[in-house]
Amino acid sequence: MVRLLLTYGWICAFAVNQTAFAKRVVLLEDAAPRAEFSALPTLSRESVAPIQINFRLTSLETDRQTDGFETLRVDGLQRLERAGAPDLFTTGRIVVVPPGYRAELQNVKSETRELGAMRIAPRQKHYRCDCPWDEGFHFDSALYRSEGLYPSEPLRLESLGKLQGVELVRVGMYPVQARFRDNSLVVTPYLSAEVHFVPTGAPRNALHLAPSLYELIRASTVNARSLNASQLRGDADELMLVFVADSLKDSLQRFVEWEQSKGVKVRVISFSEAGGTNKALRTYIRDYVKNTAVKPSQLLFVGNKTTLPVVMASTASGPAATDYEYARFDTLDDIPDALYGRLLADSAEEVSTQI
């Protein structure tokens, strides 16, 4: 019986994983499939330094599956997450657009190459575990029947939103595009371009961030370090709002004193003072931001899911608990406007241990 089960398992595994040999398509040089993307500010007399974009894709690896679809492999790229669409790639960088300017792509130069008879397998959702939200096989039949390209452009600027007034734009690179009308690929193995910042006529006042957010922006964007003090500064007050379960408020004195010794302004608000529900807490935070000159740069939540409730959010793996919604001061985009975290504690002793 054991032997039969092992044999059956081996046959199933062979049937599922059986593919043709992978094939390498050389684009620029005979090297391992790899993508290289760079985005660097350049010396210029312009008020905001332009950003030089360079991209190279040496080769890619294709593998035809038994169902007739092709899969691709390239190191250095991130897979697109659109379930049911061709399982293709992207890469990119984030740039800051100072007030009074708009970002614009210029001097785009590229090479393209067409690969025929390439019907790319659709992207599937990947769950962390077996769960009831698994919707089975994903296939966007309307997209696969269309006449256009997916993605529509190899390079584009994508608005991400604002972090406390700082406009963020992604330079998105899509080097492999599916062309559905003839089941082919349009590949961009080489591209160079520039991102310029064009005056809009709006005021060019400097943006002032708290030091923690200023360093976050400098570390995560291409050009924040090249902006001058008339465009972006890190000299605003550092303000932490601490929302705490009513029974734990007295346990935070040592933590508050420690933060204040570092120059952080701290305000502690009990859950009942903030309204006593997670909806009221969200409203409290947004009203506070709207009505005060100093915006909080940090949010800390102290308590458990009962004494200081979280917000339930919808994810690919089902509902999940998060404090992310509390940090979205501007609901027009998905970027949190403050650093946020939680001390998950049921008692004053647990708070003291974590402090």
Which residues does residue 185 pair with via DSSP β-bridges, in sequence order?
A: 115, 178
CA–CA distance, 279 with 218 (Å, rounded to integer): 33
What does the pLDDT read at residue 317?
A: 64
286, two tokens: 């947004």
What does the pLDDT read at residue 127?
A: 62
Which residues does residue 111 pair with via DSSP β-bridges, in sequence order?
A: 190
What does the pLDDT read at residue 22?
A: 72
Q: What is the pTM of this model?
A: 0.87
Which residues touch 215 (CB under 8 Å, ≥6 apart)?
234
Domains within the chain, CATH numbers bracketed = 19-205 (2.60.40.3800), 239-354 (3.40.50.10390)
Confidence bin at 135 (pLDDT 50/70/90)? low
Do 226 and 41 contact (CB within 8 A), yes or no? yes
Which residues does residue 59 pair with via DSSP β-bridges, in sequence order?
A: 26
Backbone angles phi, psi at 243, to 5 degrees: -105, 125
Confidence bin at 295 (pLDDT 50/70/90)? very high
Which residues touch 28 (CB under 8 Å, ≥6 apart)?
56, 57, 58, 59, 189, 190
Confidence bin at 120 (pLDDT 50/70/90)? very high
Q: How many CA atoms lie within 13 Å of 98's alpha carbon, on the beta-carbon side? A: 26
What does the pLDDT read at residue 129?
A: 57
Do 105 and 112 contact (CB within 8 A), yes or no? no
Per-chain mean pLDDT for the chain:
90
178-225 pLDDT per residue, tens: 999 999 999 999 999 999 999 999 999 999 999 999 999 999 999 999
Q: What is the DSSP string of 87-101?
A: --EEEEEEEEE-TTE
Q: Which of 93, 88, 216, 86 is nearest to 144 (CA)?
A: 86
CA–CA distance, 121 with 85 (Å, rounded to integer): 8
Do 233 and 214 contact (CB within 8 A), yes or no? yes
What does the pLDDT read at residue 133?
A: 57
What does the pLDDT read at residue 331?
A: 83
Which residues does residue 53 pair with via DSSP β-bridges, in sequence order?
A: 39, 193
Confidence bin at 112 (pLDDT 50/70/90)? very high
